[in-house]
Structure 1
Amino acid sequence: MTTLYELLAGEDNHPALLAPGKPPVTYGQLRENVLKLAAQLNQFGFGRGDRIAIAMINGPELITAFLAAATAGTSAPLNPKYKQEEFAFYYEDTAAKALITSPEGIPAAIAAALPTMTLLTVEADAQGRCSLERAAGQARSATYAPKPVELSLEDDVAMILHTSGTTSRPKRVPLRHRNLFASAGNIRGTYSLSSADITLCVMPLFHIHGIVGSMLSTLSSGGTVVCPAGFNAMEFLSLFETYSPTWYSAVPTMHQMVLARLSKHADVVRKKPLRFIRSSSAPMPGVVRERLEELFQAPQLDSYGMTEASHQMASNPLPPRERKGGSVGIGFGVEVRIMDDVGNLLKPGEIGEVVVRGPNVVDGYENNPEANAAAYTNGWFRTGDQGVQDAEGYLSLTGRIKELINRGGEKVSPLEIDDVLLRHPAVAEALAFAVPHKMLGEEIHAAVVLKGECESAELRAHCAAALAEYKVPKKFHVLTEIPRGATGKLQRINMAKFLQVGSED
């Protein structure tokens, strides 16, 4: 069996979940909690195929509820910071039958609940034992016997997530138990994770990166997940000292905030050595990689993932194997190739679209034949990313195909401009983006957050020293912060609209 319940591989007495102010949860307790909550869901009338929404902040109770919902039915984790209208959309789109939240609740999530939904709350006692209570709505007919619990099968949909639609309606991604099991195993193998490892989970657990990259991969290794209520750079040092993690995974913006907070505490950090630092979900600027490795004295490994592949598709390997700066590495348990527009696989050194296939890749979007026809070619999933592989299979991404800037026929990767700007001592954050242009099609602008005095002319000269003339941003927008999505991703495609920059002559 390759289900999420079977994935919980740790020894009974080994700590599985730790969190500030919470009792430790061992693997034995976690398995008991998951089966108990799954049985309760069965008693309330929810079973295989039923979508169970979850709106909670990070913590052991969320992890337990997620695993139980996936074991009894299908888990649908949602961002607890959504507005009421957003919750209503996702409930309707997933046909959610129930909502699990904490006793204190998420007001917008509760207010948006459909009349047909049952509201459930999950709570842990002082010993970490979890239970569900029905807070509102009627239980469905109890058609599922609580003993034995009707466990999901490997081909059942364990979790339903949505793509982060930037220009269109988000697509539903049905992730089966076998997909998630395979991806967790791939990540475990990539980093040689074991029961001795402790991960500090700073990614939100409504996102594939946090769910698989941090949580499921660690649980599949028998290791320990430290799960604070959320990411807070101000608390990072305290968590680091208290729990002595061996690794953590985050998006580059989080790494940058960790650097800003911990750079003055290098002596403390080096007393608690990490095995490695993992980055995913967005491109890592080279200068940030260099500073992270200097601070932690540990290898920083860029990886590459997306929801449709149950997260990881490629990663740089651990030493002594070669890590290549600027590359997201090689496939582990996943085939990664480059394809042209008509479906031909390209040779090393040729630029095209990144395609993948493997047991972690979903079978297709849910009820969306048009999207599936565009996304799959000859059994390969088209990622929408442009890249190139070298002779050893190391993949370098040159940008999202939709994010590439077409300036008068010259295709420009905004990532290259970001990296150059971040090397200026006065620049804290940078984001290059396209602005419509009547003659060129698109012009290049850049948004920057400064940490010192700097004029646009100086930034332009800095870029001109490292970039071809057509790649130098025409205009710089100085902001106090750059807008990000819920998981810390920079909103490149929408920047021109956000800044209300219209078509230029």
Structure 2
Amino acid sequence: MTEPIGGLNPVSTRVMNLATFLTQAARRDPDGVALVMGDARWSWREFEARADALAHALQTRFGLQKGDRVMCQSQNCMEMMQAMFAVWRAGGVWVPANFRQTPEEVAYLTQSSGAALMFCNAGFPDHAAACGVTTLVFGQADFGPSVQDITEAHLGQRPEVAVVDRDDPCWFFFTSGTTGRPKASVLTHGQMAFVVTNHLADLMPGLTGDDASLVVAPLSHGAGVHQLTQVARGVKTVLLPSERFDVAQVWDLVREWRVSTMFTVPTILKLLVEHPATAGADTSSLRYVIYAGAPMYRVDQQKALDTLGKVLVQYYGLGECTGAITVLPAHLHETGEGPNVRIGTCGHARTGIEIQIQDDQGRELPPGQTGEICVIGPAVFAGYYQNPQANAKSFRNGWFRTGDLGHMDEAGFVYITGRESDMFISGGSNVYPREIEEKILTHPAISEVAVLGIPDPLWGEVGWAVCVAHAPVSEAELTEYLGPRVSRYKLPKRFLFWDALPKSAYGKITKKMIREELEARGLLEKAPA
């Protein structure tokens, strides 16, 4: 309850349980298709009944109480979405892991979140064993009862839907752990209800039950938030039939189901655009191809626009803000040049969100000056679970500090320079790798690149560019090409050519993984622990 205002009685902070989105969709269109995976189909009525049955079992058979955390280790499947809504309905907190993590990593997430119950796909017995908690299985396995069997046994039974307040946790959204151990960002029912509304307003306006959404990224993170938004509008969700990413199959599903929305990341979008199957694909149903998770380089953005048309929507945000910081809507994506084209922006502030560029003292910087991107608004999380040190570091005067560097123009459009941890200092000058990467990618032979700051006895740090080339090119050629395009102190000292850049389970190129690969190849001394 909040404090009295002006002598009035305290007002309620009760909000809708997020699982109610599923109930509302099932009421509006009970026989409509809700979930598709391969040959399997669930109607909204079936989806609702299965979520109810599982929630009832969680409460009556497994003793789930409000606030209990429930781990999930699984690749995308229909039962994963069923479990998510069942956990919320029963009052639990959804704690999904990246399914590509090791058993030891998932055990750490289980322990640090305090989860005593786990959903686990049948293909991950070692993860279940490492976690050592009560486990319910998607599929059939000998390390726990089957969710399908549990559901069938409880069909027709309704749970006691948990009463929730605005600040009651619903989801522990783990950071990707690019530095140190992953941290659990606490997302709440009230916050997530705002994010769903904000997604519908800023990213996908006008969605209806006639739309269809194809899932090409793990439901454990941004794609899961995206699919919650689809459920809120009764949009059918189409899952890939297996975890194997097949571009031709993606386009077949887009055509078959008249897919109108997709959530992806730049590396996956790049794969979709550049695949030979795309040339003959029917993409006419697409309305919103949403990309986030990392900035998209200008040359890749232009190619995607030329291939798919003006359907791209970019958003920028961290898990701590549930993605809701900026948006660059479809009508502001441009392929050409000109005075009104803002090249390199990630968009303007999302509805209800305020952004400031701040110096290291927390003072707002004027347009054009680089500083830390800071944000306030209802999309900002409730803090890191049981981590007061991280909370103290991440908040200042009420502002959430993203750790990203950037600047803002006079019209309020934000330009990301890079992570604060990516910036390096060479000869006393700040160097922002993204600026150099953008220039390197304009060379016709380069398809991917990452620039890192490497210790140097003379300059302090110098840049190394790790490149993926699809045509012959030499280090000398790239040096000559970049000469007139970047200042001399920004020019990489070395260019390395690899067959591929290591990527995270979410398809992101991370500097931490590249640095580790440099160490593994004996090109860089291992940093002290």
CA distance in 1 between counterparts of 2:503 and 2:393 reads: 28
What runs of 5+ residues in structure 1 fail to find an aligned partner? 125-129, 136-145
Q: 1:374 to 1:436 in 2, by over 3 A?
A: same
CA distance in 1 between counterparts of 2:247 and 2:190 reads: 35
Q: Deviation digits for residues 196-248 of structure 1, max 9, x if unmatched? A: 332211111112x1111x21222222222222144433422222222221121
Q: Deviation digits for residues 152-211 of structure 1, max 9, x if unmatched? A: 51432111122222332222211111122211211111120411332211111112x111
Give the 5 Å matches for 1:494-505: 494-500=513-519, 501-502=523-524
Match of 1:4 in 2: 18
The 8 Å contact of residues 80 and 109 in structure 1, kept in 2 or not, is answered as no
Q: Deviation digits for residues 344-395 of structure 1, max 9, x if unmatched? A: 1223222211111111211211111121111111211000011111122111
Match of 1:39 in 2: 56
Match of 1:261 in 2: 275
Question: What amino acid is aligned across from residue 35 of structure 2 in structure 1?
Answer: L
- Residues 280-289 or 454-463, more deviating: 454-463
1:133 shift after superposition = 4.8
CA distance in 2 between counterparts of 1:216 and 1:62 reads: 12
Give the alignment partner of residue 39 of structure 2, picking from 21, 38, 42: 21
Structure 2 residue 172 is matched with structure 1 residue 153: no
Alignment partner of 1:82: what SS? coil
The 8 Å contact of residues 98 and 119 in structure 1, kept in 2 or not, is answered as yes
Structure 2 residue 210 is matched with structure 1 residue 210: no
Question: What amino acid is aligned across from residue 184 of structure 1 in structure 2?
Answer: V
Alignment partner of 2:270: what SS? helix
Question: What amino acid is aligned across from residue 111 of structure 2 in structure 1?
Answer: E
Question: What amino acid is aligned across from residue 72 of structure 2 in structure 1?
Answer: I
Match of 2:412 in 1: 393
Q: Deviation digits for residues 300-333 of structure 1, max 9, x if unmatched? A: 2221011111222111124279874311111223
CA distance in 1 between counterparts of 2:515 and 2:499 reads: 16
Q: Deviation digits for residues 461-504 of structure 1, max 9, x if unmatched? A: 22223212222211111111101111111121342342123379
Give the 5 Å matches for 1:25-174: 25-43=42-60, 44-72=62-90, 73-102=92-121, 104-114=122-132, 117-122=133-138, 131=147, 133=149, 148-154=159-165, 155-174=167-186
C-alpha RMSD over aligned residues = 2.4
- Residues 53-62 or 12-21, more deviating: 12-21
Match of 1:319 in 2: 331
CA distance in 2 between counterparts of 1:147 and 1:221 reads: 23
Q: Deviation digits for residues 63-111 of structure 1, max 9, x if unmatched? A: 1112212332111111222222112211211121111123x34122122
Structure 2 residue 430 is matched with structure 1 residue 417: no
Identity of aligned residues (%): 29
The 8 Å contact of residues 74 and 80 in structure 2, kept in 1 or not, is answered as yes
CA distance in 2 between counterparts of 1:55 and 1:493 reads: 24
Match of 1:180 in 2: 192
Q: 1:323 to 1:210 in 2, by over 3 A?
A: farther
Match of 1:192 in 2: 205
TM-score w.r.t. length of structure 1: 0.89
Structure 2 residue 480 is matched with structure 1 residue 461: yes
Match of 1:305 in 2: 317
Give the alignment partner of residue 292 of structure 2, picking from 280, 287, 292: 280
CA distance in 2 between counterparts of 1:407 and 1:234 reads: 45
The 8 Å contact of residues 327 and 395 in structure 1, kept in 2 or not, is answered as yes
1:407 shift after superposition = 1.3
Alignment partner of 2:275: what SS? helix
CA distance in 2 between counterparts of 1:443 and 1:300 reads: 35
Q: 1:457 to 1:429 in 2, by over 3 A?
A: same
What runs of 5+ residues in structure 2 fail to find an aligned partner? 1-14, 141-145, 152-156, 334-339
The 8 Å contact of residues 427 and 489 in structure 2, kept in 1 or not, is answered as no
TM-score w.r.t. length of structure 2: 0.85
Question: What amino acid is aligned across from residue 297 of structure 1 in structure 2?
Answer: G
